[in-house]
Structure 1
Amino acid sequence: MMKLRVPLGLLIGFLLGGSMAGPRAQVAPEVRWPSFRGVDATGVAETGNPPARWDVENGRNVAWTTPIPGVGHSSPIVWGDRVFVTTAVMLEDDARRDAPAENAKPAPAANPLEAPVTDNDKPHAWRLYCLDRKDGRVLWERTAHQGIPRIKRHPKTTHASATPASDGVHVVAMMGSEGLYAYDFDGRQLWKQDLGALDVGLVEDPTDQWGPASSPIIHGGRVIVQNDRHKNSFVAPFDVKTGREVWRVDRDELPAWSTPVVHPSAEPRLITNSPHFIRGHDPETGKELWRVPAEAEVKVVTPVIAGDLIIVTGGWPLGGQPIFGIRAATGEVEWKVDRGSTYTTTPIVYQGILCIVADNGVLAAYDVKTGERLYQQRIARDAGGFSASPVAAAGRVYFTSEDGVVYVARAGKVFELLARNDMPEMCLATPAITGDMLIVRTRGHLYALRES
């Protein structure tokens, strides 16, 4: 049963107010990548033109490189001349980094995705970094929280997997179970919200914790979070200026890692992808307007906007991974593919084609209007696993593998691989596009790639 709570004072405040605005907030579209997967989480930069080829080893088309301490799979975001990224730093590693070089320990050679997690019971610092987009300089860093993680993580996740969001005045960051934090562009903390332990993990075994990853979004002066966990799941927006809760929809759901999206139509719909149902809400009040059975558990994938449709995929087990093309306004299922979905990577819709890359590197393309499959093939014979979601610009689609290779393909009804670009470290974070720049987060660095 849905429970809806809308404090009257907050509703009046929202109607009378609005998000702050100013010169910094009014930047050109090409230098806005404000949240996970950019504007409306589409993964597409309509006016972007990043390079198709680069070489990190010799510096070709590498604008700058900045080390980011700690570990995080959150994506960088961009607003104007600022780049924001979060990380979780184990404090003993922080101390080791500041110690004399002769005392430093070499990095382990083993693949960290295959190693047992050893940091769950050790103190961490959750940090937000602000960089200069032009040269990668760190303008400021802020520690939001220090302590032992409230929830354990999976070897393939981190304690900083949620991507921050910005409206050009505020930047908000979900620091796992350690809270939701808001800052201004000068690094002043504005507010924080403790949302409780985000206890997500294996459905059949609640003690097998994997760690949260759902990212906040900003819409209409509100920070919207989707918090699906073992108990007390909910969706709620918070006033971006004050942090006060506007409404809350409690719901009976299983753990999920999906990020919500708002379909930007005349009558916007807040879309959530969860194990029991795909839902459409009124973002003003939280009222549920429609629901579609999801037919799969372990929801990681974010819904994708495609004109009047919402494309929803993802889930586990593999035996039931449908792809839905759903009318955003009504919840009507326009088309459905029974099998062919992905587990962790969010698909992309670009130039009328839906591209879905599976975790094993098999790429499938569909006509987004009908769901008809156009082709299916492996991106490359030696391609590794894929966790990062694809992004697109300038007629090209960028696919980033876990072993640190960015494959660039020409958009179209026939697959054509244009380039393979090797990064020096593994990559699980989704890249960002800003103008003529592609920003890639590897295990320990941010790389800004731009034509020399």
Structure 2
Amino acid sequence: MSKLSLLLLLFISIIICSVNGQNIDPNRQWNMYRGNYAGGVLDNVHLPETWDVKSGKNIAWKTEIPGMGNSCPIVWDNSVFVTTAVSEGDTGEVQTGIYGSIIPVEDSSIHNWNLYCIEKSTGEIKWERTAHTGVPEQKRHPMSSHANCTPATNGEYVVAFFGSEGLYCYNMEGELQWSKDFGVLKSTFFLVADAEWEFSSSPLIHENVVIIQCDVQENSFIAAYNIKTGEEIWKQNRDEYPGWGTPNIYYDGDRPRVVVNGYKHRGAYDFETGEEIWRMSGGGDIPIPTPIVGNDYIYFNSAHGKVAPIYAIQKNATGDITLAEDETSNEYVKWAKLRGGSYMGTMLLYGNYLYCARWNGRLTCYNALTGEEMYAEKVGGGNSYTSSPVAADGVIYIADNNGVVYSVLAGSIYILLEENKLDDVCMSTPAISDRYLFFRTAGYLIAVSGIQD
């Protein structure tokens, strides 16, 4: 056989492997909340600088998603997944803005909790599955929905969590593999039991194990399940106030740890056994942001109550590492800021800089290694921001609730590059894939891309 023929056969085999999904790099999939282990970063994706929904400029497609959902889209290869809760009785209106009302929405209509699989290149719905039908067990906050948890996938299975309505695992063709009912998960304001705000902690998949964090009014826990069978691997009870954060993974040497945000019990567990490794108390008493990992640290932030801290924790932490009052470091806490943490948004670690976007749109940049503040600027003119920042190719993207997306140059100096409009309310964090930026708005899933049919 000639060298040309061998090269041709090798080329064909590479193409076949790629088509069959055997050549997919899992590290470049946006496979859970905020992408690969909630990092929020994907480089070398070549996104357009500007777009316009009304004119269609650099809009690859716009697909209507029925119902309500503040969950974020995820992407694996050519499939985009998103969840929603559909009801004719719930108007679908979401209140935006910064305000202090804790009163939930009164609604007892029947809902369908759905998972959609959408073709990445066309926006066509490949399949739709209804996981549960019934009256919601918990009320929602006016800024919330009944589908807040972002799904997660490992390319073989996709997991959707709907809080009190259950945890569901499907294969990539939409066939239900297993489900779990945890009863009523009371996601309420810890001081007012009637202030129901709905569940919002998203699942995590690591090494074929599903991790869920359920910090609720009664019987809080964290648990691990076999993704193929749904079998419980371990479960640990938690003495914790209700929280809305998503767990994450870090490595202490070669030992994987599950790390969670919290107020009474921020900390880490052994991934294989569930054994507690370290803990820390204090901070914002309604923890929502997800911990992020990088530069040999785990970064936390939270807000509400007396303080709104940011912490940089060493990966070798053990035991109780709670800071004394007004203390900003100890053996395992590298540095801390007692003010400046965000209430809603997960922070972004990009290179050696840590970015924190607050509810009022104020973006603060820190040196991630030392905690030195580089700048603090209000981004744009929006009055409320619940979407967390993401980044690609040196640009940070932040969306306000009015659907204006701000592009900020990454680095130690604040430079606003562009403002692009989605023309719809936007409460969730975007997803990034090669040449695509996906936004979940109140009514649509929008694909921004320089590639258009």
Same fold (TM over 0.5): yes
* Contact 1:280-1:328 within 8 A present in 2 as well: no
Match in the other structure for 2:82: 85
1:339 aligns with 339
Change (3 A) 1:372 1:118: closer
* SS in structure 1 of the partner of residue 37 of structure 2: helix
Distance 2:23 2:274 in 1: 28
- Closer, same or farther: CA 400–286 of 1 in aligned 2, 3 Å: same
Map 1:51-66 → 2, pairs under 5 A: 51-66=48-63
Distance 2:377 2:236 in 1: 41
| 1:25 shift after superposition | 6.4
Task: Quote the offset at 1:307 in angstroms.
Answer: 2.2
Equivalence map 1:209-358=2 (5 Å): 209-264=196-251, 266-317=254-305, 319-330=306-317, 332-358=332-358
Aligned residue identity for 1:32: Q
Is 1:446 matched with 2:445?
yes
Q: How does 1:421-436 map to 2 (within 5 A)?
A: 421-436=420-435
The SS at the match of 1:177 is: helix
Shift of 1:120: 2.9
Distance 2:240 2:105 in 1: 30
| Deviations 1:29-48 (CA, angstroms, capped at 9, x unpaired) | 57510000000111011333
**One-letter identity of the residue aligned with 1:112:** Q
* Structure 2 residue 401 is the aligned partner of structure 1 residue 402: yes
Deviation, 1:417, is 0.5
Matched AA of 2:277 = L
Change (3 A) 1:26 1:168: farther
Q: Please give the alpha-carbon distance, in whole angstroms, between the structure 1 residues aligned to 2:378 and 2:22.
A: 41
- Measure the CA separation in 2 of the matches of 1:88 and 1:306: 35
Identify which range, 434-443 or 291-300, moves more after superposition. 291-300
Which aligned pairs between 1:123-162 and structure 2 lie closer than 5 A? Answer: 123-162=110-149
What SS class does the counterpart of residue 126 from structure 1 fall into?
strand
The equivalent of 2:70 in structure 1 is 73
Contact 2:27 2:36 in 1 (8 A): no
SS at match of 1:33: coil
Q: Secondary structure at the match of 1:247?
A: strand
Distance 2:239 2:344 in 1: 22
Unpaired runs of at least 5, structure 2? 1-18, 319-331
Matched to 1:400, the amino acid is: A
Q: Deviations over 1:213-249 (max 9, x none)?
A: 0000001111100001111110001110011111100
| Aligned amino acid, residue 151 of structure 1 | Q
Contact 2:104 2:196 in 1 (8 A): no
Please give the alpha-carbon distance, in whole angstroms, between the structure 2 residues aligned to 1:276 and 1:361. Answer: 27
Q: Taking structure 1 as reference, are residues 26 and 167 closer, same or farther at Cα in structure 2, changes over 3 Å only?
A: farther
Residue 66 of structure 1: CA displacement? 0.4
Deviation string, structure 1 residues 101-125 (Cα, Å, up to 9, x no partner): xxxxxx89x8634798656311100
Deviation at 1:26, TM superposition (A): 4.8
Provide the secondary structure at the position in 2 that maps to 1:60: coil
Judge conservation of contact 1:258–1:273 (CA < 8 Å) in 2: yes
Counterpart of 1:316 in structure 2: which amino acid? H
Query: Match of 2:5?
Result: none
User: Contact 2:283–2:302 at 8 Å: present in 1 too?
Assistant: no
- Residues 59-107 of structure 1 show CA distances to partners (whole Å, capped at 9, x for unaligned) of 11101110000000000000001000000001457xxxxxxxxxxxxx8
Partner residue in 2 for 1:373: 373
Shift of 1:316: 1.1
Q: Partner of 2:95 in structure 1?
A: 112
| 8 Å CA contact retained: 2:28, 2:36 | no
- Distance in 1, matches of 2:178 and 2:279, equals 33
Q: Which of 168, 171, 179 is the aligned partner of 1:184?
A: 171
Match of residue 31 from structure 2: 34
| Aligned AA (1:439) | F
Which residue in the other structure is 2:327 paired with?
none
Partner of 2:385: 386
CA contact (8 A) 2:226 2:232 kept: yes
Per the TM alignment, residue 184 of structure 1 is displaced from its structure 2 partner at its CA by 0.5
The CA distance in 1 between the partners of 2:420 and 2:158, in whole Å, is 31
| 1:419 alignment counterpart | 418
Q: TM-score, normalised by structure 2?
A: 0.88
Shift of 1:291: 1.0
Q: What amino acid maps onto 1:131 in structure 2? A: I
What is the CA–CA distance in structure 2 between the aligned matches of 1:111 and 1:85, rounded to whole Å? Answer: 18
Q: Measure the CA separation in 2 of the matches of 1:273 and 1:326.
A: 12
CA 119–129 in structure 1, closer or farther in 2 if over 3 Å, else same: farther
**1:169 is aligned with what amino acid?**
E
Query: What amino acid is the match of 1:183?
Result: Y
Q: Deviations over 1:134-184 (max 9, x none)?
A: 101000000000000001111111000000000000000001210000001
AA at the equivalent of 1:40: Y
How far apart are the structure 2 equivalents of 1:53 and 1:136? 20
Deviations along 1:353-404, whole A, 9 cap, x unmatched?
A: 1111110011110000011100111112x22210010000100000010011
Aligned-residue Cα RMSD (Å) equals 1.8
Q: 1:403 to 1:304 in 2, by over 3 A?
A: same
Deviation at 1:52, TM superposition (A): 2.3
How far off its partner does 1:58 sit?
0.8
1:25 to 1:214, Cα distance in 2 relative to 1, 3 A: farther
